[in-house]
Structures are given as structure tokens and as C-alpha cells.
Chain A
Amino acid sequence: MKLLNKFKKVLIVEDDPALLKALVRKVESKGFAVITESSGTPVPLTVVREKPAGILLDLMLPGQDGLKLLAQLRSTEIDYKKPVVILTNLHGRAGLRDEAERLQAVYLDKASTSIGAAVDALVKQL
């Protein structure tokens, strides 16, 4: 099973270097290949070019609002249909969770979720 997974790529979009490194390690330990971005701007192009099997997406990114980015990925322009898990540290903004669900993404609070659970939320959908 692990060998097969190597052909599946996961895109991780996260601007904090320490959190990014942790996520990369965890996802690789599950047997997936990983591509990373530290800001929102290059993401649409990366998605079109690399066609990742799934995305771990940070909400507060320099240069772009994560939800707007996801809306763009889900729109007919890029039409990305694969699983997306949103990881965020924003507190209590009403409607964010609903908005994420509307864009077919799981919504998790980073500090309140174990790294295992955060990564599994995506991996189990792949």
C-alpha cells in the first residue's frame, strides 16, 4: 500500500516554517510524496501543473485569504475536485466553518488538533 502511495502527491500550503516541516514529515511518513508552497499566490498554477491528490491548506496566508484561494481552486476556472483540509488558527469568525464546508473542505483548528488527526483527515480521503 505504501509503495502505491508514493505516486500520490499531497500539496501542503503553510507559511510558518516549523509547522510546514512538521506537516511534511508526517505526510511523508504516511507514504505520500509532498509538494509545498509558503504563500497563496503560486498555488493555482501549482495545482494545475502538479495535480495533487489532496491539499492541506492554511487559511491565513501572506498575499491571499485561504478561503478565497480555495474558492478559486473549486471554481470552473481550475475545477479542482480532490479533497482539501483547511488548517487554521483563526478564532471564532462566524461563518468560516460553513464557508469551508460549502467549498467541500474539512475545517480544523491547528492548535486544538493533533498532527496525526490533522493529517489523517486528508489521508483517509485519498
Chain B
Amino acid sequence: MNETLPTATAPALRDILMPGMEECAQPLEGLLYLAEWSEDLVMLTNAQGDIIYTNDAVERVTGFSREEVLGSRARVWGYELDSAQQEAIWVRVTTERKQHQATVRNKHKDGRVYDAEVRVVPLVGANGSVKHCLVMERNVSDARQLERAKREFIALASHNLKTPLASMRWYAEMLLDGDAGSLKQDQREYIEEVLQGAKRMNDLIHTWLSITSIDLGTYTCEEKRVAVETVVERTVEELAARAQSMQVTVTHTPPVSPCVIIADEEVLHTIVHALLKNAVKYNRVGGSVSIELKQCAVGDECGGRVFTSEQVLLAVHDTGIGVPIDEQGMVFQQFFRGSNVEQQQSQGAGLGLFYARELARLCGGTMWFSSSEEGSDFYLALPTPNKKTRS
């Protein structure tokens, strides 16, 4: 990268901090640029605390303009600490040359109080004295409020969508149980359809809520030791009817050694379900799906990859329609559906794999595949407990 970064945007900071350094190294130029463009408030004071530089963010964060702030004392302006406390912090920073870091309540020019993360960093000169201090401030109130609003949205959406659904389901079930009298055959059939519709809707809502919380960044997992085999068995059972209707045989070899990971069981179930459902759905009539679960050690080659740490590997092989070669790079994208799928006329929003891989990533795992016209092999690798690192 030999381009010269524009220097016109950060003259003040550069002139103050680096007089005579005409041959500024590129990284330093870049950092100065970064300070100027930061969304957080970045200020420079002299050793006494008078503000001699401030970036553009000052007005947005504090409400005060550059002109109002320049020349004033950093510690008097804004903080809700009394002047003695502020003086003490300043002394510690400049004489002991220690950084100060705190979350404080600060007052915006318009009067509203907000939470701010503040850092005061002494810039020590060559002779050991503190000539300048760097003051940085970030408004965290907005972020916290936004976080809270997102979580409340999910909770409310979930509750409001699922309550009428539960109602539909339960009343349909009570009719089928005969609680309101016995039913004729076609009455039974019609109500079964209502019930199936409600169940399908519930799955969709569950998927949508999970995706939304991933998108909003509020996704949380409840993690415990999970035997992957249990989840695989449960999912195979759930998809048995569907597989049967397509005459697809699903074979599953239980693992030789127990495959245990630390994860959220429901999340794992969602991932495995997405993989198996695809393997069945995009299969040929009379085709097959085989599922393999095993523990892979360092150095093992599985699914075309050599493992550099101990992982549990789930492999799902199908004899389906495969993914066209020129589309294979897009398989995990959010709304992708293969062009060869249109011919199969099956329903799908293309959310399954994107979502499954995102969830796998959130659990510290990885997902990949290989595919041809004869079928596809999808792989899910998850770290085993001792070796897990949060991504």
C-alpha cells in the first residue's frame, strides 16, 4: 500500500504531536486519520488540561461545538464529579503518568444525562514529562438503550406471535381429543389440517425469531454438555415421516466414542435439523441419506480437511440433486437457492443454510460442503470441551 493518505483532514493533531516529522510512517498517518474520523470523542489537552484539539465527534457526543470546547478545561466541562475529584484524577494522570479509565455520568449540552466511557491517557515526551493528554469519550447510553430495545422487541414479538398460535393449536387439539364431542371423519381431517398449519407456523416463527436475534446481535446460547448423538437421533426421528413420503432411506451409524460438546442443545438441534432437512428435501425419490458422527483427533483428515484441533464431526451425505458448480460459492448466503431447485418445485426461502452456518459459528464450529450432480456432503465440526475457544 503505497498511496499517501490525505493529510489535509488531520492537520491540527499532526502539527501538535509530530513537528518536524516529515517522514511520518504510514501507520502513524493512518492513526491520526483514525482519530479525526472516530465516532468517539477524541481530544488533546495540554499538561494543565486545556483542550487544544478536538475531533468532529465532539458535538454529537456532548452537544458542544468545537469552538465552545477549545480552550476550556477538560475536567471542569461535563463530568458530574466534583472539582476536587477531577483535580485528583488529573494529578494522577499527569504526575504518576497513569491512564484513567471510568464510566461516568455526563451531561449533554441539551441537559440530558448519559453514560460515558472515558479514558484519559498521558502522552509522555522523550524527557519523561507529560506534555499532552489524550481524552477519549464514548456515549454508551445509546448503545445500552438500543440493546434493551432490541431484546424487548424480540420478547414482545415472540409473545404476541405465539399466543394466538398456542390458542389455535390447543383448541384444535381439544377438538381432536373429543373434548367437545366426537368428530366425523372429515371434521377430524379438516381440524388436523388446522393443527398442522399451526405447528408449521410455530416453526417458522421460531426460525424467524432466531434469525432476527442473530441479525440484531442479541443471540444468546445456553450452553451445557450435549451428546451430539442424542440430537441426531431426535432429528432423524422428526424427519422420518418426510423421508418416508419421498422414499428416501436415512441411515445413521452411531458413533464409536461418545461425541460430547459444550453447546446450546436447541441451537445444535436447529443446525442438525437444517442439514438433514436439506438432505431429504433435495434428494431424489428413492434416494438415500447417510449420517456419520465421529470424534476427530488432531491430524485426522475428515471431509477433505485436516483437523488442527480435537473436534466432533457430523457428516451428512445425500444422493440428491447437488449444487451446480458455479453456484457453490454462494451456498451459505442468506437467500440462496440453487437454480436446479426450481425444477423440483419445492418450497423454501433459502434461509436454512445461512442460518445453520451462522449458528454453527456462534457455537465455535464450522460448516462446509462438497457437491456434485450425484449428491452432496455437508460437514459440521464442533470443538470438544477442553479445546473450545469462544470466537
Q: Which residues of A contact B (CB under 8 A)?
A: 16, 18-19, 22-23, 25-26, 29, 60, 89-95, 97-98, 109-112, 114-116
Contacts and interface: CB of A to CB of B under 8 A. Distances in A.
Interface of B: 154-155, 158-159, 162-163, 165-167, 169-171, 173-174, 177, 179, 198, 202, 205-206, 209-210, 213, 219-222, 264, 266
28 contacts: A16-B163, A19-B163, A19-B167, A22-B167, A22-B170, A22-B171, A25-B174, A89-B159, A89-B162, A90-B158, A91-B154, A91-B155, A91-B158, A91-B162, A91-B206, A92-B219, A92-B220, A92-B266, A93-B220, A94-B220, A94-B221, A97-B222, A109-B162, A111-B162, A111-B165, A114-B170, A115-B174, A116-B173
B217 to A, nearest CB: 13
A95 B170 CA distance: 27
Contacts, number: 77
Interface of chain B: mostly helix, strand, loop or mixed: helix
A123 to B, nearest CB: 14
Given A16-B167, A19-B166, A111-B198, 7 more contacts: A18-B167, A91-B206, A91-B210, A112-B202, A115-B169, A115-B174, A116-B173
A109 to B, nearest CB: 8
Given A89-B159, A95-B222, A26 B179 contact: yes
A25 B179 contact: yes
A63 B330 CA distance: 48
B202 A111 contact: yes
B155 A90 contact: yes
| Top 6 A-B residue pairs of the complex, sorted by shortest distance between their CB atoms | A91-B158, A89-B162, A94-B220, A110-B166, A115-B170, A111-B162
